[in-house]
């Protein structure tokens, strides 16, 4: 029963995470030939009469359908480190300034071709990133700008984004979606990582229910022995799964983001999962039918005062 509850718990977390990532549209107007879209995110601060909504995120963009799904941002030191270690492989356009300033998150060969062959596209991207854009990204339906200054786009910025949209629609690939191996690999890896890391969450809930609701004591006399074995198992699992995730995701320009996320999830989730796995194993052994084991004792030595050991020869012993 608890196995089914664990699978349901993981599925719920995964669905919540996927829904949380979806990008919606708050306002839609028309700018030239493109529908203009806007999305804002706010948080409430204060309480009572002083409670007010404060703007925290602002996205503006244009609707343009394209098979190119990508993200562009200022290249950071972290991006350079993971490229140096070979954990990520980013397109190099041959434009030294563009390659140094902009990190391209996207593996579609048509996107690489456009960036390498079209200097107007590279110039427009650098121009937007130099102004108010923290990030430029496409979800396949809309071309978005993550505004760093939480301000609406100026007419010049909209013209620049419209130029990028026109190049993508005019010179990009036809509206045919290409199989994205990395996307499906990343989804499978994330399902595996979240499933293993949160394996122990229902067990923790069950234990808290036993202690505080049912009033029952702990199942084991020495909880530290259980925790120690669980932490050792978690360390082995962390090392093994980290190697597996690196082997599956390395080589993509998007890989290091998923690598970092998976490592953090496993770092915080595996200790609970390891302890719960050891507890489940102990419980299964406690409930198993007794088995008789026969051991052959090679020799028995008895210690006598004075520091001498006396051998008693070979004996047989049966244990249950």
Mean pLDDT, residues 42-54: 76
* Domain map (residue ranges) of the chain: 32-171, 181-287
State the Cα–Cα distance between residues 150 and 230, nearest whole angstrom. Answer: 47
Q: Are 42 and 56 in contact (CB under 8 A)?
A: yes
Ramachandran bin of 140, using left for φ above 0, alpha for ψ from -120 to 50, beta for the remaining angles: left
- Over pLDDT 90: what percentage of the chain? 16
Highest mean pLDDT among 156-165, 207-216, 306-315: 156-165
Q: What angle do CA 61, 124, 169 make, to 5 degrees?
A: 60
SS3 assignment, position 33: coil
Q: DSSP letters along 208-233, please?
A: HHHHHTS----S-S-HHHHHHHHHHH
- Is 196 a residue whose pLDDT tops 50? yes
Residue 73 bridge partners (DSSP): 103, 135
Cβ neighbourhood burial of 305 (10 Å; 0-12, 13-18, 19+): exposed
- The pLDDT-based confidence of 176 (bands split at 50, 70, 90) is low
What tens digit of pLDDT does each residue of 75-121 get? 989 888 888 887 788 889 999 999 999 999 888 888 899 999 999 99
């Amino acid at each position: 029963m608890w196995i089914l509850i664990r699978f349901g718990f993981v599925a719920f977390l995964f669905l919540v995470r996927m829904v949380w990532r979806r990008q919606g549209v708050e306002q839609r107007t028309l700018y030239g030939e493109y529908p203009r879209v806007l999305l804002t995110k706010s948080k409430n601060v204060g309480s009572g009469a002083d409670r007010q909504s404060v703007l925290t995120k602002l996205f503006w963009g244009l609707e343009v359908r394209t098979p190119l799904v990508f993200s562009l941002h200022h290249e950071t030191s972290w991006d350079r480190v993971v490229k140096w270690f070979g954990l990520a492989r980013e397109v190099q356009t041959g434009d030294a300034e563009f390659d140094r300033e902009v990190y391209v998150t996207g593996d579609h060969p048509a996107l690489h071709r456009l960036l390498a062959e079209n200097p107007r596209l590279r110039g427009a991207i650098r121009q937007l990133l130099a102004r108010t854009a923290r990030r430029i990204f496409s979800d396949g339906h809309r071309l978005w700008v993550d505004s760093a200054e939480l301000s609406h786009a100026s007419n010049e910025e909209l013209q620049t984004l419209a130029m990028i949209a026109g190049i993508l629609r005019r010179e990009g690939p036809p509206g045919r979606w290409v199989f994205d191996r990395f996307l499906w690999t990343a989804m499978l890896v994330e399902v595996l990582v979240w499933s293993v890391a949160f394996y122990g969450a229902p067990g923790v809930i069950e234990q808290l229910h036993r202690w505080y609701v049912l009033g029952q004591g702990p199942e084991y006399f020495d909880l530290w022995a259980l925790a120690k074995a669980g932490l050792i198992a978690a360390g082995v699992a962390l090392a093994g799964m980290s190697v597996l995730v690196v082997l599956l995701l390395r080589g993509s320009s998007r890989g290091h983001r998923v690598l970092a996320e998976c490592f953090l999830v496993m770092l915080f989730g595996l200790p609970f999962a390891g302890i719960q796995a050891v507890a489940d194993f102990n419980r299964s052994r406690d409930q198993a039918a007794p088995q008789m084991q026969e051991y052959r004792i090679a020799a028995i030595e008895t210690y006598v005062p004075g520091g001498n050991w006396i051998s008693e020869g070979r004996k047989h012993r049966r244990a249950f």
